[in-house]
Structure 1
């Protein structure tokens, strides 16, 4: 398999990259890790006229942990973020992403922009209410140096459909922000795949916060593979703000199944995925509550 012809660009700074993207418009694609893009090119699912390789933009490799959360640059690899362990839910998710050889090259921000509803990281960003920073070239406009302006898009608005995001032609996703967790908060990620490293048939990440009496005061789950975009469900009311040991877990499963819209395919029927998502939601919320309780 060979990719369709394209013009290759290797900019050496952000301004140059954005200028090329602005000129390319909808016929431009960004190459960072390439673990999704290269197969799509070879199978001719994608056929850009311009391929913009940003791997020389070293400033985009940062992983910045602050009290408010973690900012991951566009060139930070899965494996680098996993080793840095800046956020517990990110680490739990990254351990489930493909295989080590893929994680050595693939990027966190690239996975978000790819917007595959069966991928782990979009669900993590969504359940945490994170955001993606998009940059574009705007000569003479106020903003960052060299006429670069940015906008931050919350996860709820960033994922617009299967393999579709809010990034517009000419824009480059330069970073993603994952908010920090409040005190007495636990996280968990559960998924079922046919083989380790495959895309999940269904998956759930959970964030659970306890109050001073160790009752569940907040609980959210992000669902993988059961909708056109990551499905986020607040299950706090389903937990009835009780201690984890007395929560009616069937209500948690029911609340999640009500929001899920799975499709069937050769790997699993829609009914099986709907069953799985409820079971995994129970397990993930239990695990997160246990971690929150210490």
Structure 2
């Protein structure tokens, strides 16, 4: 199908983008990599009056060191994130997960910030953002503000961003010594959305798990933290991982669809959590 008519603007800076977005009104859409927006436009599931293309805003691209954090520009492509040495050193979970996103064509066009702002609960990066406790930087008419990952995802395809705000960067805390990570997902074919995914961060001390952070993909209307598993893993030996993983579905509300019923996803969450934690722990 052919999209409905819309105005097209292409700002050259963040300030110009915020201005253009404000002038366009609440039904405007931001174009990042286009991997989610363009299919929606073609199917006429969205009728924006204006599309604001962020492709020529240089401040939105790249990864930089910012002391205790690394900062990933929202328009940095998945492929750029995957290959970045700062990401590999300080946030390998992001690289591990990004490697599983769709296929090389999508990873070369899709953007890190665009995927997170789209907020599809079946998308892999939301669970990673929660596990890493990232901070989202948004720019609007009032200037920049920071949003904690725990506050960012509010409902299905809904974030804490206001209609007149642009996600500009993601601040990722550098993990200290002793942390390891793994992302485990289950899908029907390589390019498909996750039926369930698990992002695991583990810190070990004296042969035990001192601390764990677990993010869940596609187990509710938003990405989720598996807090019951995290509590059960604190101070546990590797022999106790299986029992802790049995709590993975607690507090979740997984969908039932053609890819799997809710009880099947609950089962997958338990199985994949055990695999992810053991892999992260090097077992």
Normalising by structure 1, what TM-score?
Answer: 0.91
Query: How many angstroms apart in 2 are the aligned matches of 1:202 and 1:81?
Result: 23
Map 1:209-288 to 2 at 5 A: 209-211=203-205, 213-234=206-227, 235-239=229-233, 241-244=235-238, 246-247=239-240, 249-288=241-280
- Match for residue 60 of structure 1? 60
Shift of 1:69: 2.5
Q: Compute the displacement of 1:243 (Å).
A: 3.0
1:55-103 per-residue CA deviation (whole Å, 9 max, x = no partner) reads: 1111211211345222111210000110114120001110110000000
Report if the CA contact (8 A) 2:226-2:250 is conserved.
no
CA gap of 1:236–1:53, structure 2 versus 1, over 3 A, is closer
Mapped partners of 2:20, 2:124: distance in 1: 31
Deviates more, 1:17-26 or 1:109-118: 17-26
Match of 1:113 in 2: 117
Partner residue in 2 for 1:41 = 41
**1:260 Cα deviation after fit:** 2.2
Q: Deviations 1:127-185 (Å, cap 9, x if unpaired)?
A: 111111110134xxxxxxxxxx1000011111011111111111111111122212111
Q: What is the number of residues matched between the two proteins?
A: 278
Equivalent position of 1:142 in the other structure: none
Indicate the SS of the match to 2:113. helix
Q: Which residue of 2 aligns with 1:172?
A: 166
Establish whether residue 129 from structure 1 lines up as the match of residue 123 from structure 2.
no
Unaligned residue ranges in structure 1 (runs of 5+):
139-148
Q: Are 2:187 and 1:193 equivalent residues in the alignment? A: yes
CA contact (8 A) 2:133 2:148 kept: yes
Is 1:23–1:170's contact at 8 Å kept on the other side of the alignment?
A: no
CA contact (8 A) 2:74 2:111 kept: yes
State the SS of the aligned residue for 1:268. Answer: coil
Does the 8 A contact of 1:239 with 1:251 survive in 2? no
Distance 1:250 1:286 in 2: 9
Task: Report the counterpart of residue 10 of structure 1 in structure 2.
Answer: 10
Correspondent of 1:157 among 151, 158, 162:
151
CA distance in 1, matches of 2:188, 2:19: 43
Decide whether the 8 Å contact of 1:192 with 1:201 is kept in 2: yes
Alpha-carbon deviations, 1:31-72, whole Å to 9, x = none?
Answer: 110110000111111211010011111121121134522211
CA RMSD of aligned residues (A): 1.4
Deviation >3 Å, runs of 4+: none
Query: TM (normalized to structure 2)?
Result: 0.94
Partners of 2:214 and 2:230 within 8 A in 1: no
